Structure 1
Amino acid sequence: MDGLVGTIGTAAAMFAGTNIDDIIVLTVLFLSARVGGVPRAWQIWAGQYAGIAALVAVAGIAALGLTVVPDDYVGLLGLIPFALGVRSLVTAIRARNAGQEASPVVATGLLSVAGVTIANGADNISVYTPVFRTIGPGPALVTVAVFAIGVAVWCAAASWLGSHKKVIEFVERYGQWAVPAVFMAIGALIVLESGVLGSGH
């Protein structure tokens, strides 16, 4: 029993520690859904689950000794949210020049949400891999189950954070500029923190 409680506690701490920045991304996505209508809430939930599942799968494969993506190149995934931010910013500029209102939409569906989740959590693989390598199949399944619960908690928390009237009013007023800026900043941070630009590749 102590072993199970310890595994659950470790998994919960690991999930929270490696996905704290996802709260920001998810909150922005839920705000975008409320203000602009896309992506839909179910697409955010499904995309987050798909993204985390992909990260866990890659970590599991890596734990078996197979390198799926060289560490030096993982940081390049940061170009995904950066590119989505740039695209949204360009759309906002075009809409402003045409005298129209632009909704703060960055990710438009399940796949783009999953892509942002994977990019934002690419560094998680380096944390998950040694853990999966050292624990047995039973604890690994418990860990994955805790992660699944963690995703639900994260999505619910982000949805709640994104439901406040003042926040929604802010996004309605400045979202077409603020939302792309957030995604561009996240993408840039992923690339810079990975060290891929200075790796000589």
Structure 2
Amino acid sequence: MTLSIIGQAAGLFAVTNIDDIVVLALFFAQGAGHRHAARAVALGQYLGFAAILAVAVAAAFGATFLPEQIIPYLGLLPLALGIKAAVQTWRHRRDKEDLDPEAKQNGPRVLEVASVTFANGGDNIGVYVPVFATAGVGGMSVYVVVFLALLALWIAAGRYFATRPVIARALSRWGHILLPVVLIGIGVLILVEGGAFGL
């Protein structure tokens, strides 16, 4: 029974978080050459995902801290961060020092990564709640442990992709453009799919 729940938890995590690997790779690429950047990305990812799990677990027990109609508006977080990153990229487009990793901004911040993780996974809450509610306390505990264990694998995969020579060169050259595009895309997608602002 436990093995069955572990398999279901692994499958559910993979299906609902596959897009996070791309975002993680971009964050790792943004932090290349900065001390503690990898730690900031990992900590931010865990912090954001822990918030998702906390809301989902609470909702499974009947406590709704995050009304369902609010979830689409979480898209404003990555949208704002994406616009901010795009403005910074535009301002430094001719700055030769910007090509030097040491001269780039300080890399991703923990709360930025956590915000994007939470916003990107906001729709996952709607999937997790009924699963957690029907799994019972024991089953829910298994889901949470499996999710947190797989999150480490996801972080490792994001870092792996960001450090492969071909991908690393592409991200080094285009990452400063891709990151805002991806963040803005995630934000718009969350807003549109959730019907925020009557979209």
Using structure 1 for the length normalisation, give the TM-score: 0.89
Specify which of 43, 48, 53 is matched with residue 46 of structure 1: 43
What residue identity is the alignment partner of 1:11? A
Deviation digits for residues 133-169 of structure 1 (CA, Å, limit 9, x no counterpart): 1112111111111001110110111111111112222
Residue 23 of structure 2 is aligned to residue 8 of structure 1: no
Identity over aligned residues, as a percent?
Answer: 40
1: CA distance between counterparts of 2:5 and 2:173?
A: 45
TM-score, scaled to structure 2: 0.90
Report the residue type matching 2:156 in the other structure: A
* Structure 2 CA distance for partners of 1:98 and 1:4, relative to 1, 3 Å: closer
Q: CA deviation at 1:98?
A: 5.4
Among 27, 43, 51, which residue is 2:25 paired with?
27
Unaligned runs of 5+ in 1: none
Change (3 A) 1:125 1:39: farther
SS in 2 for 1:96: coil
Please state whether the residue corresponding to 2:63 is helix, strand or coil.
coil
Residues 1:79 and 2:76 are matched in the alignment: yes
CA separation in 2, counterparts of 1:106 and 1:116? 17
Q: Does the CA-based 8 Å contact 2:162-2:171 persist in structure 1?
A: no
**Matched residues in 2 for 1:107 and 1:63: separation?**
36
- 8 Å CA contact 1:51, 1:115 repeated in 2: yes
Q: Could you say if the C-alpha distance between residues 113 and 16 of structure 1 is closer, same or farther in structure 2, counting changes exceeding 3 Å?
A: same
| Separation in structure 1 between the aligned mates of residue 39 and residue 94 of structure 2, nearest angstrom | 33
Aligned twin of 2:186 = 186
Selected match of 1:90 from 87, 90, 104: 87
Tell me which amino acid in the other structure corresponds to 2:87.
V
Q: How many residues align?
A: 196
Structure 2 unaligned regions, length at least 5: none
Instruction: Write the distance in 1 (CA, Å) between the matches of 2:164 and 2:124.
Output: 30
Deviation at 1:173, TM superposition (A): 2.2
Q: For the aligned residues, what is the CA RMSD?
A: 2.1
How do 1:111-190 residues align onto structure 2 when only pairs under 5 Å count?
A: 111-190=111-190
Is residue 34–residue 106 contact of structure 2 (8 Å, CA) maintained in 1? no
Amino acid at match of 2:57: G
Give the Cα separation in 1 of the matches to 2:44 and 2:182: 19
Tell me the amino acid that sits aligned with residue 122 of structure 1: G
Residue 78 of structure 1, CA deviation: 1.2
Specify the alignment match of 2:196 in structure 1. 196
Question: Secondary structure at the residue paired with 1:123?
Answer: helix
